[in-house]
Structure 1
């Protein structure tokens, strides 16, 4: 799932939100653009099955402003940003993952290959380190980490949590993180999902009054011709980053960010009616229940891949989704991954009864995670919802 990282250059700008509030925003310049391969997709699918603990099936200080954390984009497969831990600060790249709830980084006591290839936390170098001593193990069915809990100063986008409990990984299992472009993971899910009932960082930002609202939101840049990787907004939503109305739906289960997907169809075939779905920024693809995936793949890519051409792509159906009564369709320009003249399907299958809407979906729609009101919001970035009638053409990039 994790690929080689990209070089970054940061440009600090201030944007004017439609609400009139000055929002500090740090944009990412993406210097190098990679391509995705079938191996990338297979690795993502392997991690996804492990993360949700399913087996492989045959179907295969009081703040007045919001704060924006820049996100780096690695191959449109992973989005991550920077944090620091300790005094003086030790820097780490972390994936902000709404599909988990713990913060962990590699420890200097870890000699696994994954640890040696990444930035590590050295407790002895921090004057504010506090030993916790509790053992922790975070697993994703296959892969994960084991280590010790600790407490130290955490800084996220200029916001300081003086006593954040986090995990120091002294073992990273099954080589899952060897080639990760990031060092660790910062979970953005509910505390109920956290191992050892550790309080997640965003909960602490809220309790310390460091954000104006108990809301965070994501803008994930998907344009392969752009150097902007997107942003994580802490404390609200930046309406300058989306064009359509924000549609809210209640959370149906408070661990993952789970909600009701009202309806889904493709080529006129119903594949979901009042299904459950999870919004997961730590997942690159869309994962559908096995029965829905069987229909999707039979209509689009029965053999898993096919030769790309303008005619073949324009003939593909739109995946039509209804959420909260609003249209949130995904066109083939979004769910097809193009590489070397081959078209690969960016939708996978899991043996679950819920959908996982990862970055293939979240890259098309601004997503708001409202912890205070236990709801999610989605809004179109472009201001329109793809459909067969309005779709006429899109760019093809062959590598």
Structure 2
């Protein structure tokens, strides 16, 4: 009988946790990329992140300077929510680097507001006025407006009386041509402006999800607009191979954690570093010292471009997190933009790394609010610790389980 239970357990492990996955709430994530992406888009994203992380522009943080910015950024992953009764559909970017939900107001006249869906409280029977103003900084400007309370529905999860920002003015023209209407922040509650309870916290507080956990599977390959899934209430093991590597959160506002090391071609870029997982950027942002070493090692041009013919021979960028090596091959950290190859690793002078969609697209990421930790697992099964035999790594976990099963059967 013991033998039978062991066999059943191992077979279940091989098949994945199907029953648990059925309890998860799945939000389709769509991917939008500019029809013509350029180096200016990348620089616009760097400017946006400076405002988001309250980093001033300085000579040391401005490796590339003196160039006009594009009025849109590089890549976004977004989904649909509804606000009000009857519900109005808004397209929002799910951003783990912020914690407030906001959408444009019907009486906002900026270009960004007029080109997107706008919230009109007079047309919702469940609107409740709040009376407070709110200002959020993004890039060179941001949004300013007021707080409102209304019903917010995320993937059929109905949040009653959710407080959110309504933008009366959008000061940052980076939002003019983006595919989304607003932003739904998924950072820790401590990060939220005006002490507003973020939507995800209310999902759990109102028992709409069983666990205070969410996770992202982002698809950075392919040509379709389908960009993956935001999983609410847990993680789906069908999206990753092998075990999840967990590390504790070192600062509970951003999703910040300890990273043991970053290495490129044998050069240690940093040791005992801090990193933040941020779905609100497509880039990887490095501390200035690490970027200087990386810049020299990769022989990057002053305008952040590299010779496209050399990309395949570039080294893998390796991050050591929780004792596991997570590698990013050059085919992912070099972006092909408007006929040129641009390194998607930038700097803005911080002392921490920001791991955006270039990283998260490679590694399924679990954000565990309840246990104050973050987890990563390979989407493909390959950690890219080298550029050879990467497919072999995809079968490592399955092979190990079968080997363990064989040993146990012999013992019994």
Q: Would the TM-score normalized by the shorter structure come out above 0.5? A: yes
Indicate yes or no: 2:177 matched with 1:176: no
Q: Secondary structure at the match of 1:378?
A: strand
Alpha-carbon separation, structure 2, partners of 1:316 and 1:155: 45
How many angstroms apart in 2 are the aligned matches of 1:337 and 1:239? 29
Secondary structure at 2:241's aligned position in 1? Answer: coil
Q: Does 1:153 align with 2:151?
A: yes
Shift in alpha-carbon separation, 1:291–1:24, aligned structure 2, 3 A:
closer
Return the match for 2:353 from 338, 342, 355.
355
Residue aligning to 2:220: 222
- Say which SS state the counterpart of residue 42 (structure 1) adopts: helix
Q: Which has the larger radius of gyration?
A: 2
Alpha-carbon offset, residue 300 of structure 1 = 1.9
Quick one: structure 1 residues 39 and 318, their matched pair in 2 at CA, closer, same or farther if it must change by over 3 Å? same
> What is the distance in 1 between the residues matched to 2:62 and 2:42?
17
Gaps of 5+ in 1: 1-15, 61-73, 394-399
User: Is 1:59–2:58 an aligned residue pair?
Assistant: no
Scaled by the length of structure 2, the TM-score of the pair is 0.83
Q: Distance in 2 between matches of 1:30 and 1:264?
A: 28
Q: Tell me, in whole angstroms, the C-alpha distance in 1 between the residues paired with 2:270 and 2:30.
A: 38
Q: Which residue of structure 1 lines up, in the alignment, with residue 405 of structure 2?
A: none
The residue aligned with 2:365 is: 367
Aligned with 1:49: secondary structure?
helix
Give matches, 1:255-294, under 5 Å. Answer: 255-294=253-292
State the distance in 2 between where 1:120 and 1:340 align. Answer: 32
Report the alpha carbon displacement of residue 390 of structure 1 after superposing the two structures with TM. 1.7
Which position in structure 1 is the counterpart of 2:43?
Answer: 42
The equivalent of 1:18 in structure 2 is 17
Alpha-carbon offset, residue 180 of structure 1 = 1.7
Does the 8 A contact of 2:31 with 2:78 survive in 1?
no
Distance in 1, matches of 2:194 and 2:41, equals: 32
Q: Distance in 1 between matches of 2:127 and 2:279?
A: 30
Matched, 1:113 2:111: yes
Q: Deviations over 1:162-187 (max 9, x none)?
A: 11011111011132311121000111
TM-score by length of 1: 0.86
Alignment map for 1:58-137 (pairs within 5 Å): 58-60=62-64, 77-137=75-135
Q: Deviation string for 1:40-92 (max 9, x for gaps)? A: 111111111221121332434xxxxxxxxxxxxx9971111010010000110
Residue equivalent to 2:195? 197
Structure 2: tracts of 5 or more residues without a match = 1-14, 65-71, 392-412
Residues in 2 aligned to 1:337 and 1:237: alpha-carbon distance in whole angstroms:
29
Q: 1:302 and 1:85 mapped to 2: Cα distance?
A: 46
User: In 2, distance between residues paired with 1:145 and 1:341?
Assistant: 34
Given candidates 382, 385, 396, the residue that maps to 1:384 is: 382
Name the CA shift for 1:214/1:188 in 2 (closer, same or farther; >3 Å): same
Q: What SS does structure 2 have at the residue aligned with 1:20? A: helix
Counterpart in the other structure of 2:343: 345
- Tell me the secondary structure at the aligned position of residue 111 of structure 1: coil
* Structure 2 SS opposite 1:181: coil
> Which has more helix, going by share of residues?
2
